[in-house]
Amino acid sequence: MADNTPAGSTTDGAITVGQPVDARVSSAPSYDVADFPVPHGREEEWRFTPLERLRGLHDGTAEATGALRVEVTAPDGVTVQTVDRDDPRVGRAGKPVDRVAAQAYSSFEKASVVSIPKESILTEPVRIAVHGEGGTVYGHQIVEVGAFAEAVVVIDHTGDTVMAGNVEYLIGDGAKLTVVCVQDWDDTAVHVAQHTALVGRDATFKSVVVTFGGDLVRLHPRVVYGAPGGEAELYGLYFTDEGQHQEHRLFIDHDTPHCRSNVAYKGALQGQDAHAVWIGDVLIRAAAEGTDTYELNRNLVLTDGARVDSVPNLEIETGEIVGAGHASATGRFDDEQLFYLQSRGIRGDDARRLVVRGFFGELVQQIGLADLEERLMAKIDAELEASVG
């Protein structure tokens, strides 16, 4: 795989030319679903998504009939509350930017708020286990980290659901938040969510998004900076199997000076109609002098019949920056590679495992969370086990 192919490489080598960020959203952000027309599928932000598989989340027909079982395990000092929508923290990180996020915002009944008090350094992670018990649900989750606090939050999604939601991360000045968000849904689940992080002065936000399951998963991680000195590291892994649609649309809004962002998402695909979409939008506004940003997406296509759309897009409105770059590449594991490895005595299934573990291993190490590393590699092995056979 080439290191720096032009933006928008797809598996068949076609190049998609990135569009300006402004052209990507067909409506202005809003809390109200009525401000967004029902998408028809040709809009820039919907063109990769199979609308018919959203089960009505996009057109107002999905009634909230379902249930989630949510268990929060939190160390002492962390508060877990259920609040009404008039709570001042609700919606603070930013407005919904598309119809489904606005639908979720307009439809949720109570928001869940996990608060880590200022200056508390958690030695154990906060665990939020979300288990879908069928039907349609709209959710709103807030994670609030006080100034100079440090926390790791692990959100696990399992079970079956049709869920639209918003997640807000409010990261106080000098605080450090690491969030691991795992989509390990049943193969029938639909999950559409906007994650918005508001990064405070000199605060650090590290996000690890891991998507294995679901029929359709469409996540929209967004970063905005509240004050200078903020840092965001966004990592992602996905393993897209036969028939699955997994879409990650990132947006980093550098509107504040001297902030950093680093994005690295890697995905493997296997099976007929496995479809992964990765959109990486970075906007460096005129005021954001001293910005340092880099984004990378790599895909490994293991079988025929899978499709990748990878569209990095960097828009720069000031020359006074430290650095800005992006890379996107899609590689194929093909018969020639298999032959090469086998000709060195390596069995076929071992060869495939070697390639996939190697591909993800680098990123998993970079994430630097030891127990997560083991869990991810085990999960990757299981995904391979299920298919290699």
Partner 1 sequence: MATLEINDLHVTVEADNSTKEILKGVDLTVKQGETHAIMGPNGSGKSTLAYSLAGHPKYTVTGGTVTLDGEDVLAMTVDERARAGLFLAMQYPVEVPGVSVSNFLRTSATAIRGEAPKLRTWVKEVREAMERLNMDPAFAERNVNEGFSGGEKKRHEILQLELLKPHIAILDETDSGLDVDALRVVSEGVNRVREGGEVGTLLITHYTRILRYIKPDFVHVFAAGRIAESGGAELADKLEEEGYESYTKGGASE
Residues making contact with partner 1 (CB under 8 A): 1, 3, 300, 331, 333, 335-337, 339-348, 350, 354-362
| Least distance (Å) between residue 92 CB and partner 1 | 40
The nearer residue to partner 1, 179 or 268, going by C-beta atoms, is: 268
The nearer residue to partner 1, 25 or 329, going by C-beta atoms, is: 329
| Least distance (Å) between residue 363 CB and partner 1 | 10
Neighbour tally for 163: CB within 10 Å: 27
Task: Say what the alpha-carbon torsion angle 316, 320, 322, 326 is, to the nearest 10 degrees.
Answer: 10
| Least distance (Å) between residue 340 CB and partner 1 | 4
- CA–CA gap between residue 286 and residue 65 (Å, rounded): 46
The nearer residue to partner 1, 82 or 342, going by C-beta atoms, is: 342
- For the purposes of burial, counting CB atoms within 10 Å of the CB of 138, is it exposed (0-12), middle (13-18) or buried (19 or more)? buried
| Least distance (Å) between residue 339 CB and partner 1 | 6
Chain position carrying tokens 């880099």: 294
The nearer residue to partner 1, 40 or 347, going by C-beta atoms, is: 347
| Least distance (Å) between residue 128 CB and partner 1 | 32
The nearer residue to partner 1, 109 or 374, going by C-beta atoms, is: 374
Note the maximum CA span of the chain. 65
- Residue 157 pairs in a beta bridge with 130, 183
The nearer residue to partner 1, 346 or 388, going by C-beta atoms, is: 346
The nearer residue to partner 1, 83 or 346, going by C-beta atoms, is: 346
Task: Note whether 189 and 159 are within 8 A (CB).
Answer: yes
Write the CB contacts of 34 (distance below 8 Å, at least 6 apart in sequence). Answer: 106
| Least distance (Å) between residue 188 CB and partner 1 | 31
| Least distance (Å) between residue 266 CB and partner 1 | 9
Query: Which one-letter DSSP state was computed for residue 334?
Result: -
120: tokens are 């508390």
- CA–CA gap between residue 276 and residue 273 (Å, rounded): 10
Query: Which one-letter DSSP state was computed for residue 26?
Result: S
| Least distance (Å) between residue 237 CB and partner 1 | 13
Q: How many CA atoms lie within 13 A of 329 on its CB side?
A: 9
Work out the angle between the directed axes of helices 348-367 and 335-342 (0-180°, nearest 10): 100
Report the SS3 class of residue 117: coil
The nearer residue to partner 1, 169 or 360, going by C-beta atoms, is: 360
| Least distance (Å) between residue 338 CB and partner 1 | 8
The nearer residue to partner 1, 51 or 329, going by C-beta atoms, is: 329
Chain position carrying tokens 């900076």: 225
- CA–CA gap between residue 326 and residue 297 (Å, rounded): 8
